[in-house]
Structure 1
Amino acid sequence: MSGMVLCEPIELYNILNQSTRFSRLTESNYLCLIDARTKTQYEESHIITAKRAKTDEEGNFMLPPCIEFECLKYCVVYDGVTDSVTGDVRVDDQNVCCNRSYSCSMYLGFIYFLFIGPAISCAGILENHSRHPIRILRGGYELFSAYYPFFRTQKIIYVPQELDEIQPYPVEILQGTLYMSDFWQARNPQIQKDLKIKAYVNTSERYDKFFIKGGSDKLFCIPVPYSGESDLFSFFPEVCEFIDLKRQNGLATLVFSCLGISCSSTIVMAYLIHLNKYSLQDAWSDVQKCKTNMRPNRGFVQQLSQWEEHILQDKITDISDPNF
């Protein structure tokens, strides 16, 4: 039995937006997103690519057909508002009807009962067939759609070509305030509107007038080539101050480079070391969770190690480790 874990909305957002040449949603064994709400709720609106969980005549959830759960990287289940993997404790001084969704106990004349939401009930069926923990979306559909309304849809069936055409969004590093992307995502007007991007850090040599529509104070340029010899370190203090100022004013910042893999991830890690006093190892782990194929070149890794020592007054991370 693989168990269940909570999945934060930002985690599901980043799972949905992983890409190489195409969105990873095109991979059959990458993600199975299951909606455990009612048929009416599902048809009104659901999260993009989600399949509705089916039940038998007695209302018990069934294993979805044609899904190889042993091979799946991610299986995420959601209902309306569930925010726990154990259920919600509720109190009633009246008689309650006990069924498969409740576990009851008596104390001081009150009936305490544990409400098991549909997402947990559904995940309980799936965990017996999965090698990886089943993720329960914290806050369910209501919270996720409040954060990311542009991922709501009524579309039920996707053909492979339609999955190929899904355009990934920038990954989210800090909730609502810091994102990372490639050049083409950065200049997409719809993405900027949906994510409410108000400031940019351009770590590529490419330049476009699109990025200064809001004024030059909204753009920080680091025009360095992708080379291990390029100097990003000298920009770290100023770019961290730039991002700090935007976040303090409630403005979302997008850090981007040509491919969104090396230069941009270096700047983002430098900022997390500055902001949270993270070690390079911790910053690396956080950014890799958001963007699984991020990969600073060796020269940038050495500069991040210098930055770690500068901020923490100690060299904590061993960058000779093959993971770096």
Structure 2
Amino acid sequence: MSGLVLIEPTELYNILNQNTIYPCLSDTNFLLLLDARNKLEYDESHVITAKRARCDGEENFAIPYDAELECKTHVIIYDGNCRSLREKCRALQCANRMATDGSKNPVKILRGGYEDFSAMYPFLRTQKIIYLPQELDAISTYPCEILPSILYIGSKEQATSKAIHKDLKVQAHLNLTKSDDVFFDSAESEKYLQIAIDDDREADFGSHISKIINFIAKNREKLRTILVWSDQGISRSAAACIAYLMSYYKWPLKDAWRHVKSCKHTVRPNRGLVMQLSQYEESRLGSKVTNVDDPYY
């Protein structure tokens, strides 16, 4: 039995928004998302790509046809508002069935269920039931959430999307590219900061770290939602988020890296940025705690 774990809404949000060339949702082995509510509730509205978990009159849940549980990276179950692994709820009953019948990884139960998730991310609700492969390929992903409702990491494409700005209520931009911003300009100094560097080993990132941290901190104090972005949203923007977490939480590089990586699986700051983050770690903590010679970094 693979076991059960409880996850927060922000974790499901980030899983739904992972992408490489295509959204990870288009990979049939990436996610099985099951809605354990009744048919009427499911038909009224559910989380994007969720399938209804069918059960009989005695609340015995069935394995979905072609579920291939042993192949799924994520198996996630939700009901109306399950909040713990100790309460008797439909999500727990369904998750136990999936865990005992083949899931290779721990089955995840969404804390707060559809009630909490739809309140936080109403733009990820839908009535759509069937997705063709080309429709999954075309899903537009959102920036990943580093700090819930506060700090997001995204790409240039996402940073120029009116829909994303409206849905996430983005109020400030940290632009780590040489591209012009379509929503902010240099006159809005409180809400906009551009660090115009290239994504290469020679780029001077270290001298801008204090400015980056202060910008995020001031906007966070004013309860503004901040989008940190670079061309692909995986290198320069990741380094900026890591630096902020190191400063705010007094984390070593390895812990800040681990958190950002857990939010967006594809992040990969270039080696020049990693070395400058290592130097920042030493200046903050008095020693190099993280071994950046490890190929993981």
Give yes or no for TM over 0.5: yes
* Secondary structure, aligned partner of 1:14: helix
* Secondary structure, aligned partner of 1:288: helix
Q: Which residue of 1 aligns with 2:236?
A: 263
Q: Encode CA deviations 1:239-288: one digit per residue, 9 max, x unaligned.
A: 10110000010001100000101000000000000010011000110000
Query: Equivalents in 2 of 1:217, 1:278: separation in Å?
Result: 26
Q: Which residue of 2 aligns with 1:316?
A: 289
* Secondary structure, aligned partner of 2:193: strand
Please provide the CA RMSD for this pair. Answer: 1.2
> In the alignment, is residue 117 of structure 1 matched against residue 89 of structure 2?
yes
Query: Equivalents in 2 of 1:36, 1:209: separation in Å?
Result: 42
Query: Equivalents in 1 of 2:158, 2:79: separation in Å?
Result: 30
Normalising by structure 2, we get a TM-score of 0.97
Query: Equivalents in 1 of 2:56, 2:64: separation in Å?
Result: 12
Q: Which residue of 2 aligns with 1:27?
A: 27
> In the alignment, is residue 232 of structure 1 matched against residue 199 of structure 2?
no
* Secondary structure, aligned partner of 2:164: helix
Runs (5+) with no aligned partner, structure 2:
none
The 5-angstrom pairing of residues 98-247 of structure 1 reads 116-128=88-100, 129-212=102-185, 215-247=188-220
Query: Percent of aligned positions with the same letter in both sequences?
Result: 47
> In the alignment, is residue 307 of structure 1 matched against residue 297 of structure 2?
no
Q: Encode CA deviations 1:24-71: one digit per residue, 9 max, x unaligned.
A: 100000001000001111111100000001012433111111111001
Query: Equivalents in 1 of 2:284, 2:12: separation in Å?
Result: 31
Does structure 2 conserve the Cα–Cα contact (< 8 Å) formed by 1:198 and 1:214? no
The 5-angstrom pairing of residues 257-296 of structure 1 reads 257-296=230-269
Does structure 1 conserve the Cα–Cα contact (< 8 Å) formed by 2:80 and 2:115? yes
* CA apart distance, 1:83: 1.2
Amino acid corresponding to residue 126 of structure 2 in structure 1: T
Does structure 2 conserve the Cα–Cα contact (< 8 Å) formed by 1:187 and 1:211? no
Query: Equivalents in 2 of 1:24, 1:264: separation in Å?
Result: 20
Query: Equivalents in 2 of 1:314, 1:147: separation in Å?
Result: 40
Runs (4+) off by over 2 Å: 56-59, 208-217
Runs (5+) with no aligned partner, structure 1:
88-115
* Larger Rg computed on CA atoms: 1
* Secondary structure, aligned partner of 2:2: coil
Matched residue pairs, number? 296
* Secondary structure, aligned partner of 2:62: coil
* CA apart distance, 1:315: 1.3
Query: Equivalents in 2 of 1:169, 1:277: separation in Å?
Result: 28
Query: Equivalents in 2 of 1:320, 1:58: separation in Å?
Result: 56
Query: Equivalents in 2 of 1:25, 1:214: separation in Å?
Result: 39
Q: Which residue of 2 aligns with 1:83?
A: 83
Amino acid corresponding to residue 107 of structure 2 in structure 1: I
Query: Equivalents in 1 of 2:154, 2:146: separation in Å?
Result: 11
Q: Encode CA deviations 1:274-324: one digit per residue, 9 max, x unaligned.
A: 010011000110000011111011110000001111222221111111211
Query: Equivalents in 2 of 1:192, 1:57: separation in Å?
Result: 44
CA pair 118-141 structure 1, distance change in 2 beyond 3 A: same
Query: Equivalents in 1 of 2:264, 2:4: separation in Å?
Result: 23
Query: Equivalents in 1 of 2:168, 2:275: separation in Å?
Result: 32
Amino acid corresponding to residue 2 of structure 2 in structure 1: S
Normalising by structure 1, we get a TM-score of 0.89
Query: Equivalents in 2 of 1:50, 1:277: separation in Å?
Result: 38
* CA apart distance, 1:161: 1.3
* CA apart distance, 1:232: 0.6
* CA apart distance, 1:163: 0.8
